[in-house]
Structure 1
Amino acid sequence: MRMGSSIKRRVVSLAAALALVASLSARDGFARDVKTITEVEVREEQGMTRIILRGATDPIYTAFLREDPPRLIIELPDVMLDRVETPIRIDNGVVNDVTLAAFGDPQVSSSMVRISVGLADESEYELIPNGDELIIQVRSLLSPPMAPTVVAQVQPEPAALPAALDEDEEVVAERAPEPEPEPSAAPQELTHSEAHALAEGELVVPAQKARGASRIQGLVVEDNQVHVIADGPIDSVDAFRLKEPARLVVDFWGARNAVFPNRFTVDSGLIQQVRIGQHADKVRVVLDLRGEVTSHTVEASDNGVRIALNSDSAQDEDEQVASAARPMVAAPALYLEENEDGQGFAGEQNVWVKGVRFESLPSADRVVLDVGAELQALVYEPDPITVVIDLPGSRIEPESERRIDTREFGGPLEMFSVFQTPDVPREQVRVVLKRRGSAKVRLSWEDGRLLIELPRASRSAYLPGTTVPAEFASAVPGPGPLAPAPMGPPESAMGAPASFMGPPAPGVYSAPGMAPGMAAAGRPGGPIGPLLPAAFGVDPLFAGPAEPASIDILEEGGFDDEKTYNGRRISLDFKDADIANILRLIAEVSDLNIIAGEEVDGKVTIRLVDVPWDQAMDVILLTKGLGFVRVGNVLRIAPLETLKAEKEARLMERRSREKLEDLVVKLQPVNYADVNEMKDMIQHLLSARGSVMVDTRTNTLIIKDIPSVIHEATALVKAIDTQTPQVLIEAKIVEATLTFARALGANWGLGFTGTKTVGGVTTPSAGGFPDLHLSTSASGLDPLISLPNGEQQSNFISANPVVGILTGVLRLGLLGHDDRIQLDLELMAAESNNRGKVISSPRVVTLDNREAIIKQGVAIKFTEITRDTVTTSFVDAVLELKVTPHITADRSIIMKVKVSRNAPQLSSASGDIVGITKNETETEALVRDGETMVLGGIYVVDSGKSTTKLPFLADIPLLGAIFRSKTIQDERRELLIFVTPRIITSPSSDF
């Protein structure tokens, strides 16, 4: 099988595999024999590329070829993929890449794998099933077949050959000599096209060629000449022309290819496209020609070969003149060097792309790359709307890479990307442009900046590819009389002028690129006629509409005040215009496919200035009581009553189909969520015939319903049944002296600012009071706490002020997480100086929204004696900390904290325990992951008075003071609690 008229169709058919269908109960439905592709291997053997798919035993497949771009599509039903990396880049001149994609769900209905093989040239393919392997063989039709046969030898030069062979000419047919030494000289078999060219005297095939050792390093295309640059002279070259389509094939025997990419489009005279490929024993260059070439010459030079094309037809001469008048835009020039490893690359050293920006100018869309030095730019067009520009020897930082959608500007450039090209011999930056239509690309250098410009078309009435409806033709201004319509004169004319020529706002098109002076064929509302010549305003650079992608921005539902419109801005001014023609006009502006039935009729008078086309369409449809629905990439216009009735009919049909649809059973395991809670959620999704049951032993839901509901229920379970994140709570309970507690920020003092700053000038405030700052931190301690930005002012009195540790600005009672501050070191230093003591340092892990309890203390025994019994009870005198964390979406943690301290109260006289002293606090705070929250204010006061005296003598008035002494003890300690939550991240968790 081959693409176009020249692709040879040759497929080895595979007998359809017997589908194993297991008959199950009505409840279980049907099961399919689903195969799995586990490995893809690519081999290259003598000009042939083998793609081996392993794991699909005896598959049923469908294969077909697609063009633009050329590719082979293979569909395998009831097949899945398992850990297969895709796409697979090959780029060997025959196959560009291989992409595998899986569709469907094998557990619900069915699955399918689609293989797309990108072809570099006209190729033939063959599919060979081999056990659990499916082999795809691809071979280029331009490469010589592998089977050795007769070789034709003709002595005269190509230019001297007659148009056909005479009987007196001698054609020597002989078998190729035995190879000696390496490499082997395999004889060449003539393909059908080459045999035809040989019969016409256009082909020279050598019996045996001496193999050179040249390296093809570049190609330069200028007008009708191609300069093939090599590392030296090329001794063995063959050239011949082929027809249908017209091509010139040039073989360089024994050469190696170092040019990439292998295909690029040029617009230079007779040459339309250049392709280059590496074969086993040669490099083949194919020139796709525009028109008929009467002769060609191949001349050797010191650094390669020059190929020149000639044509005597007047048409080709006109094309050459037009080509000479156009700037050299897409003619690529590749210059490659060799590095130490013998690999070809462009340029001498890497330069950095420092910036990328987009400019929407009145005359063009421009992409500017700040390179700093001029580089060689490689330009090629892989498809009609894409332009790729490579800058070998350049680099760009990842943060400088860009992907910008420019469609809102309404210019010829729709989107562009700038990025570092991966997996190439030499580093290079690639620019990919997606243009509208066939807008040309112009490259220029200015002060080390690469300017990439796409010129805008003239801003007038219609887009390229648009024709004015016949009833509008007489109203549209033009430079001269209109050409007559092919199917007769228009039936009517507009009574008022129609103008689209108002000046657009900056960055906004007013129907950009529309050309006035176009006529339509036939009656109003008839088929769109051909384009008029460029003299009437059609820019040939924009000829041809782009692919209709505007349907993606449309929202069904009609006109709405809250609806957003993103279409290109246009201006419309018509009186008594046929609504069908207005819709055709909007279809051309938006590149939409629109269909309207005979019920869409009537006239409308409108004047809309600088409005999005989708809003204009909604307003027009609303005026006439019409609506639209999307059917694929087609917009269907119909009355609202018709669309409403059709929608209701579809809903009724869907409900009827659901009642008749077979039920299937799905076993859905639940890992983390409560299975009974999941059951309650799924109950709301089930249809009238559906049911759900719970297997508590395996924590599994048994769902029975139609496939669509099963799919929704499965998606709900997968979304809800996720792993609950965990929180590690680290607590440090410290008993510190009052001075150390103040240093840690448990008690801070008073500040007053007596000045104010206005406009950078500091002046005293009202009353002239100076700044006042009081500090309660103990002397001799290193300053641990400072206000933000080092200012010692707060203007408030608080037990828990807003403070910061070094560079951290903290919330109320919080210590910021800073790797330079080690809380453990501070506490150890406090212990060593007898200023603090770490009572406990527990750690506990809890789930999100689950309470964690940390408790430490003793149980005190109390004995109660009555007349008949003695009762003993225990009361806890403990320090208890309860924490309930909740993780927010931004990885912050909301903590509910409750701290209680119950201590025994001793009698001052007997020392016995007479009660329990309780201290309790409860709060809720928001901290970030890894921050520390401080809780303070729980005091331990140890105070007392004692008197020492001598009996009798101490009681003597006045003199007794000599014989007695008094001691007053007042020691206060504060209990500080530091709580630090940390989120524990696991691979399966969303956090």
Structure 2
Amino acid sequence: MSHRKRLLSVVLILSFGYVLYGTFLRAFTLNSREQDLSVIFNTIAAVGKFNVVVDPKVRQKMSVTLDRVDPLQALYIVAKLNGLQVKKLAEVKGKDTYAIAPQDVIERGFEQGFTRAKRLRYAKAEDVAQIVSKGLGKEVNIGVEKDPRTNSLVLRGTEEVLNKVEDLIKELDLPVPQVMIDAKVVTVQTTFTRNLGFLWNFGVGKAADGIVTDKTAGSGSIYAITEYQRTRNNSSFYDSPTNARGSNIFSFGDFYRSNFFLNSAFAALETSGITRTLSSPRLLAINGAQAQLRIGDKIVFSGGPSQPPEERDTGTVMDITPRINKDNFITMDINVEQSTARFDRGDFPTITRTNAKTTVQVKDGEEVLVGGLVQENSSPNKIIVPFLVEIPLIKHFFQKKNNQNTSLELVILLTPRVVKQNVAQDTGEISPPPISLGIGGSKGEAPHVGLPEPGGPPSPGGAGPIVVPSARGSPAGPGGDLSDINDIFDGPKPRGPDTAPSAGPAASAPNGAPMPPIPPPRGGLDIPELGL
């Protein structure tokens, strides 16, 4: 035995030395200055004892200094530095042949192009096509076409390139987790209006040409002022003294005589109101994708003579971009805007905006509050009678004040939750479903069988050897008897604790001959129960 080990050691040492010696003999040193590539390739091929075929369009020159390198390695180094591809063609009379040319020439002349269709399950074909074109398009010659109808990619290229692209697509076409965002948008608007003071109006009537009737204009458009009161500033409107005086709580009557008309009204009124608006939208967003929420109005206003109408969204505008972290936290980029439009400058609206932009990180299922978006408007208005309003003590009888205050507060509550997804792994293989046999054991458990060595105990973790029942009354362990083949699917029949398995009549083969029972395994082992 020791002689064999020594001989084996000597053989291994000699073999290793032969490999080192062969490598040492093939290593060479190359020095050249401004030499044609074809000459350099032919020199390397002569040293390495292989054939090379160089594209005639390759006419570059280069300087090379390589010390103790393998000829084939030197061939690849020089080719790569000049943007050329090396293609191994065949072995002729014990020598390898290599073609050296640009990549497009190699693909057209030696590599067959293929076309494959790849259907995507989760990613968008447009996004994946852009990544493949930008990521691999500069390195390899690959054609990518997208089919939005079936969400598929049509790939064209060599087999090697297509395999690389398919490996990349497998890494990109993965299910993306989603986030359910429960939003509560609460808008509280408070208004307060106060009117207090005296309002004086007067006018002088004139004669009218033509027929003058009550509340009817004559040809001169001058109305008669007789037994009627003026209730509006426009002298073209009159009403009967018996009608209501509008919304003023306190008012004096009108004083008139002939063509002279005088009106004095005292107003004292306060109005307050609170309006609450609650909306509870629910958004489902893909991880890293933006979800948008618009609550409000769309304002459309005309542009110039050569401009089309423009649109603006007013109200509550919310943009949310969730990102799921590994530690069960969710990072959200939130951009909330509250805006109102006023048409106080002709046809072009004035839009008042309140914006809040932030990035928050919350745990899955926790609530975050975005508030503080408050708009307050105050509109004081004062009507006075000149000169008389400057008289002390009685100046309050010659002025009227109107104050209107509006407060709008926006509160947003956001609760993000990660949506649990059950996505089956697509391995590309079709396997039959498992068959569960009701033999002994408890329900729902898979068979756990260990095969013992001949003559030894059952292996740990196993239940014993597998025994196929072939005759009525064959032993099936303490769980029960298998009377016939139907017991495999119906389950064993129970028996009493003291009842031993009895040998029944032998089962018959299809031709009517009795089927011999299967002998027990060697070693005199008892047949244990098969636990499922």
Compute the TM-score of the two structures, normalised by the length of structure 2. Answer: 0.35
**Larger Rg: 1 or 2?**
2
Compute the TM-score of the two structures, normalised by the length of structure 1. Answer: 0.21
Q: With CA pairs under 8 Å and 6+ residues apart, which has the higher RCO, 1 or 2? A: 2
